[in-house]
Structure 1
Amino acid sequence: MSNRRDVWITGIGLVSSLGEGLEAHWQALSAGTRPVIDETGFAPYVVHPLAKIEFDAQIPKRGDQRQMEPWQRIGTYAAGLALDSAGIKGDKDILGTTDMVVAAGGGERDQAVDGAILTEIEKQSNPDVFLNEQLQSNLRPTLFLAQLSNLLAGNISIVHGVTGSSRTFMGEESSGTDAVRIGFSRIAAGTSEIALVGGAYNAERRDMLLLFALKRLAMHAPWAPVLAEPKGVPTGSAGAFLVLESPEHATARGAKPIAKLSGVWSERAKRGDGDAVEAVLDALVKEAEGGVTDGTAIFSAASGAPEPTKAEAAVLARTGLPVRSVTDRVGHSLEGQLPVALALAALAVSQGKLFAPLAGEPLEKPFEGTLSRAIVTAVGHWRGEGVALVERAD
């Protein structure tokens, strides 16, 4: 599109196992802090738990917090940090025109109720009647209702007053890619001026760990670097939201860019079809690279699922570019993973330098030059391939 506008990132909100906010993450990454890993709380599986967060700071009403599931609190908190970072928190005029694109999963299970039902149902002479009674009185509506995914956007709107258009995408890693892609595309095309995009995930829940375990995709302890040894998904609690804005809109309100979002691409290879994942990802990375390798690094949001991660690692190795594994540092947050990786990539680009490589990841080469571009790769554990490009905004 010849008349495509630039898209600036003017705000970032980030929470993960490394802490909250850009400063805490940059300090942890620069210091080479060991990943925060829990190998006992959900044994035998590996989880990156959320750092201690005082949710009151961004969600002041306890009543609002109580009616949210943990993943909604994580996302609403990260969204508030992003609005603060962009300097638009509480600005009703701007928030009233701020579009929102959210990546979200379904509702969380009530594990205590599920466990009690499974224990008691075997004792019932009429289990069907018993189950219907529990459905009416105890079970929360989380068997599967797609509208539950919209609750994150709804809570962000209620708590923070973001009342422009709203879109919610489901579909695991691909939904995170598409949430950013749609926000980017609308601003680039001139149909939106400012947007809040991102997602969140709560990894500290046994129902999702069970699903990964049944698929033989959950990482068993001990923890291992995902690109070097993809033996499973090390899920991590995290949330990331970014404020995307046209330069004209940002300049008019006196805002400076953190970085420039220069492209987002989403594809879906035919899994199980030979080298299809490698071919698709290779084409996307080449498009993002655009023949420029100077000052460029790759931030990988690899899932750790063996087959797709091996394909991702093969493509990254062929580029010869320095790689940093986001998943090794904060875990894998499904819908939130590409927004998290993009947030860290934009942070590094804004600093103009790349943090030190992680021991045990041979693709993580030292990089002493000035970082001016970062390519983010995200290959879904089951389907979907995504790539984004972030550059310095001069």
Structure 2
Amino acid sequence: MSLRDVVITGIGLASSLGEGADVHAQALGAGTAPNVDATSFAPYPVHPLKPLELDRQIPKKSDQRQMEPWQRIGVYTAGLALDDAGLKDDAEAKSVLQVIVAAGGGERDHAVDGAILTGLRGANAPGSYLNERLMGDLRPTLFLAQLSNLLAGNIAIVHGVTGASRTFMGEEQAGVDAIRTAHARIAAGQAEVMLVGGAYNAERRDMLLLLELGGYLRKGEFAPVFAREAAPGAITGSAGAFLVLEAADRAASRGAKIHAKLTHVGATRSRRQPGTVEAALRGLISGFGPIDSGALAVSAATGAAGITAEEASAIATLPQVKSVATGDLVGHAVEAAFPVSVALAAAAIANGQANEAIVTGAGHWRGEGAARLVKA
């Protein structure tokens, strides 16, 4: 069976740099200094979201209030992508538009978490104490309101998208598989147009705690992703990215502007022994065919020890490419990291900065992904 070409006709991006594909493409081309807050969550630096005019994409205040910050970021960038693709007011298109979301868990009650952690220090039976507090202090209704698939639901409600939706939950690989699945469904003729992406709020003490417990965060001042040997670790960033992927013939028939063609998306999971991340990424890239010597490499590398050096080594095997780390521009956005990187690559191609781009990403503790984009 021959597969159909898949193109990107809509890009929605928001981060610490601002919003829109052009803003991010210009920052990528100019090497704009990142926006980093090293004090609010010290000793952990973060890339804070540049304030958004939420009313532009989420008109109802009631909708804004019932969403958590990461959901607002996602719904907002989904709206940007629909606007960019010329589909925001196309009811017929939105009736068949399928949505795939990469999302993490709901945001937690910091006061409850803080009280539990404080009490654990003096508990005679920490296990029993923890179980009792979790059963008694957490509000079930609040937890149910934080289900990750509410992002897809809010996109449907706010933007009037009534096609099928799917949610991939958890870490960087959710973003990889969201893009991979959307691409595969269109290429195989199982869908005509899809809205795919993710969102992440880095300005959360609960997520900083979880990542720090695993030893994944950088402390102190900002340093470029591939120059953190002395103090490795991720610097997270609040960001959202959604893409409208479309069958090339459908896009052509409606005269849509095509930013780039998405030719390949691959995912794998190595055993995370020394050398396996590099081998996994090189294996994915080798399946893409010959790479142009002037290609752009966009890396969603985390900055975490070991795997970041291996990702750099995999990129170094590409023929004379220019490389950029997404984390140097907007920080690491976990579930949204790969969608943000693909969106950056598409924006760079659309703005004439490259004719081809390779996107790579190794999750902070599991999962690897790669994609190839070319000028349409």
Pick the TM interval, shorter chain. over 0.9
How far is 1:120 from its partner? 7.7
The aligned counterpart of 2:272 is 271
SS at match of 1:148: coil
Q: Which amino acid aligns with 2:147?
A: L
Of all paired residues, the percent bearing the same amino acid is 55
Between stretches 372-381 and 314-323, larger displacement belongs to: 314-323
Displacement, 1:28? 3.0
Task: Summarize deviations over 1:133-166 as a string: whole Å, max 9, x none.
Answer: 53359x8317xx9x71101101101111111111
* Structure 2 letter corresponding to 1:242: L
Q: 1:382 maps to which residue? A: 365
Supply the distance in 2 between the matched residues of 1:60 and 1:135 (Cα, whole angstroms): 31
Residue 360 of structure 1 is matched in structure 2 by none
One-letter identity of the residue aligned with 2:77: A
Q: Is the 8 A contact 1:297 1:374 kept in 2?
A: yes
Q: Deviations over 1:10-40 (max 9, x none)?
A: 0000001100011222333344321110111
| Partner residue, 2:244 | 243
Counterpart CA distance in 2 for 1:345 and 1:130 is: 46
Q: Is 2:97 the partner of 1:114?
A: no
After superposition, the C-alpha distances for 1:206-239 in whole angstroms (9 at most, x for unaligned) are: 0010111111111111111111225001100000
Q: How do residues 100-139 of structure 1 correspond to structure 2 at under 5 angstroms?
A: 100-116=99-115, 132-136=135-139
Q: Can you list the C-alpha shifts for 1:340-368, whole angstroms capped at 9, x where unaligned?
A: 00011011111221xxxxxxxxxxxxxxx
- CA offset digits 1:157-205 (Å, max 9, x no partner): 1111111111111131111011001110011111100000000000000
1:341 aligns with 2:344: no
Mapping 1:76-91, distance limit 5 Å: 76-91=75-90
Give the conservation status (yes or no) of the 8 Å contact 1:36–1:49.
Answer: yes
Matches within 5 A, 1:91-106: 91-106=90-105
Across the two proteins, how many residue pairs are aligned to each other? 369
Q: Distance in 2 between matches of 1:31 and 1:42?
A: 28
Tell me what 1:226 maps to: 225
The 5-angstrom pairing of residues 85-234 of structure 1 reads 85-116=84-115, 132-136=135-139, 140-141=142-143, 148-230=147-229, 231-234=232-235
User: Does the 8 Å CA contact 1:110/1:140 hold for their aligned counterparts?
Assistant: no
- Work out whether residues 112 and 138 of structure 2, in 8 Å CA contact, stay in contact via their aligned partners in 1: no
Displacement of 1:116 in angstroms is 4.8
- Measured at CA, do residues 136 and 208 of structure 1 come closer, stay the same or move farther in structure 2, by a change above 3 Å? closer
SS in 2 for 1:377: strand
* Residue 58 (structure 1) shift: 0.4
Instruction: Give the corresponding residue for 2:321.
Output: 321
Residue identity in the other structure for 2:154: N
TM-score under structure 2 length normalisation: 0.92
Give, in angstroms, the shift of residue 314 of structure 1: 1.3
Paired AA for residue 183 in structure 1: A
Instruction: Report the residue type matching 1:95 in the other structure.
Output: K
**Hey, what does 1:306 align to over in structure 2?**
305
Q: 3-state DSSP class of the match of 2:348?
A: helix
Structure 2's unaligned 5+ residue stretches are none
Q: Which amino acid aligns with 1:347?
A: A
- Matched-pair contact (CA < 8 Å) for 1:38–1:48: yes
| Alignment TM-score, normalising by the size of structure 1 | 0.88
Evaluate the alpha carbon distance shift between residue 62 and residue 280 of structure 1 in structure 2; reply closer, same or farther with a 3 A threshold.
Answer: same
Task: State the secondary structure of the residue aligned to 2:84.
Answer: helix
Matches of 1:165 and 1:196, distance apart in 2: 11
Distance 2:26 2:15 in 1: 13
Gap change, CA 1:352 and 1:61, over 3 Å in 2: same
* C-alpha separation in 2, matches of 1:130 and 1:389: 48
Aligned residue type for 1:321: V
Question: What is the CA deviation profile of residues 247-297 of structure 1, one whole-angstrom value per residue up to 9, with x for unaligned ones?
Answer: 22212222121111111000001112x321111111112222x12323312
Does the C-alpha gap of structure 1 residues 87 and 134 become closer, same or farther in structure 2, counting only changes over 3 Å? Answer: same
For the Cα contact (< 8 Å) 2:355–2:374, is it kept in 1?
A: yes
CA contact (8 A) 2:27 2:329 kept: no
The secondary structure found in structure 1 opposite 2:78 is: helix
Task: Tell whether the 8 Å contact from 2:277 to 2:307 is kept in structure 1 after alignment.
Answer: yes
The answer (yes or no) to whether the contact 1:9–1:258 under 8 Å persists in 2 is yes
Q: How far did residue 122 of structure 1 move?
A: 9.0
8 Å CA contact retained: 1:259, 1:392: yes
Q: Deviations over 1:283-323 (max 9, x none)?
A: 112222x1232331211110111111111011112324221
Letter in 1 for 2:241: A
- Which region of structure 1 is more displaced relative to structure 2, 318-327 or 206-215? 318-327
Flag as ranges the 4+ runs of structure 1 deviating above 6 A: 120-124, 126-131
Give the aligned partner of residue 367 of structure 1.
none
1:368 corresponds in structure 2 to none
Distance 1:352 1:24 in 2: 14
Q: Secondary structure at the match of 1:306?
A: coil
Report the Cα distance in structure 1 between the residues aligned to 2:133 and 2:42, rounded to whole angstroms: 32
- Distance, in Å, in 1 between the alignment partners of 2:172 and 2:120 is 36
Instruction: Name the CA distance, whole Å, in 1 between partners of 2:119 and 2:216.
Output: 30
- SS of 2:148's equivalent in the other structure is helix
SS in 1 for 2:138: helix
